[in-house]
Amino acid sequence: MESSYATVGDFAVVAIGSSLGGPRALEYIFSALSEELRVAILVSQHMPKGFTKALTARLDALSDFKVMEGCDRHRTQVGEALIAPGGYNMEIASGGYIRLIKPPPKTTPTPSVNYMMKSVAKVYGPRGIGVLLTGMGNDGAEGMKAIKDAGGATIAQDESSCIVYGMPKAAVAAMAVDVVASLSVIPSAIVQAVDQPTRISARFDLMVLEAVDEGLLTLGYNLRQAIYCYVEERYHLKRDRIPGRLEILHGALETSLSTGARVLEKVIAEKLYNKLGMNFENRNEWNLLDYAQQAKKATQKTRTDQKSHAGIASSSDQIAV
């Protein structure tokens, strides 16, 4: 995955995949989205060669966005929507440029939703938004998972509003979907997903809760083992008295819980930063504050690298002109 997303613009990219029933769903979404939304849109609708021209013209007439078929070397721009031409797979390449790939004969389905979404995840990272609409099969599930894993948002059409609940169902089953919504709600869900800070904050909170759950399971196991050992060592001293047994249990809990908070924090910290993909050396005795300091350093380094890459890209563009 590319280390810097700054060289492809400061806007989000919405990647929409659809199949059977998709044209009507696309018409609804495109007519509802405002040109004020700072995004570029990519669409892969399963269609034979030649049929996407009519779809493109229809969406262009309904939308505030400038809708056109994707073509090689076109650079994605805010306010544009690019439809993958029938018979081709469309991807975003480095620098935000469109690339059309002719798939091998008899390859289905095309245009491939997975192909498009995986490239968006690779190039745009957390600024990618995946939307999977009605359709047969499972195309798009892997692409949605790639976008979600890269920090982007994913939205799937619900069963009740789908003509065929195949592709969204597969993505939900793959745990690749953040929001399941009816067609009438999807435009507003896209608008909310464009709010990147909110999206990242919500996903971070979810990761914290997951890390706490895993940490508590680990802590529970460790406490249980510690109590068993403590009781085993001291049980024979007061074998016959119930009050004595309760005293032993109290001592076991007190001894075990005295270090519980530190153990739990360490477990949560390690689980959380593994989920974030931040792997640091010599972390055995770290707590959350130690991890926070290392995360700040890593973030600062990434921003410095991004500015450097952006400056190089800008210089290259000027030279090319």
Has residue 3 got a pLDDT over 70? no
Q: What is the mean pLDDT of residues 255-283?
A: 63
Report the C-alpha dihedral over residues 135, 141, 147, 150, rounded to 10 degrees: 170
275: confidence class by pLDDT, cuts 50, 70, 90: low
Taking only the tens place, the pLDDT of each residue in 54-91 is: 999 999 999 999 999 999 999 999 999 999 999 999 99
Give residue 217's pLDDT band: very low, low, confident or very high (50, 70, 90): confident
Domains of the chain: 6-194 (3.40.50.180), 200-316 (no CATH)
Q: List the catalytic residue out of 112, 119, 139, 161.
A: 139
Annotated catalytic residue, options 18, 44, 46, 256: 46
Amino acid at 243: P
- Indicate if 60 belongs to the active site: no
User: Is the model's pTM score more than 0.75?
Assistant: no
* Of the listed ranges 25-39, 221-235, 273-287, 291-305, the one predicted with least confidence: 273-287
Contact status, residue 164 vs residue 138, Cβ threshold 8 Å: no
Q: Tell me, what's the pLDDT at 2?
A: 34
Q: Are 269 and 293 in contact (CB under 8 A)?
A: no
Q: What pLDDT sits at residue 112?
A: 96
With a cut of 50, say whether residue 279 has pLDDT above it: yes
Active site (annotated) includes residue 236:
no
pLDDT of residue 176: 92
Interior/surface letters 194-219, b for 16+ CB within 10 angstroms, e for the rest: bebeebeeebeeebeeebeebbeebb
DSSP state of 125: G
According to the model, what pLDDT value does residue 320 have? 42
Least confident of 45-59, 76-90, 254-268, 283-297: 283-297
In the residue annotation, 195 being an active-site residue is answered as no
Pick the residue with more confidence: 292 or 303? 292
Mean pLDDT of the chain: 79
**Percentage of the chain with pLDDT > 90?**
45
Q: Which pLDDT score, from 0 to 100, does residue 5 have?
A: 39
The answer to whether residue 209 scores a pLDDT higher than 90 is no
Q: What is the pLDDT of residues 130-179, one digit of tens each?
A: 999 999 999 999 999 999 988 899 999 999 999 999 999 999 999 999 88
The residue that leads in pLDDT, 239 or 69, is 69
Of 34-38, 40-44, 85-89, 237-241, the least confident? 237-241
Question: Among the options 18, 19, 63, 112, which is catalytic?
Answer: 19
- The more confident residue out of 295 and 103 is 103
d(CA 321, CA 305): 25
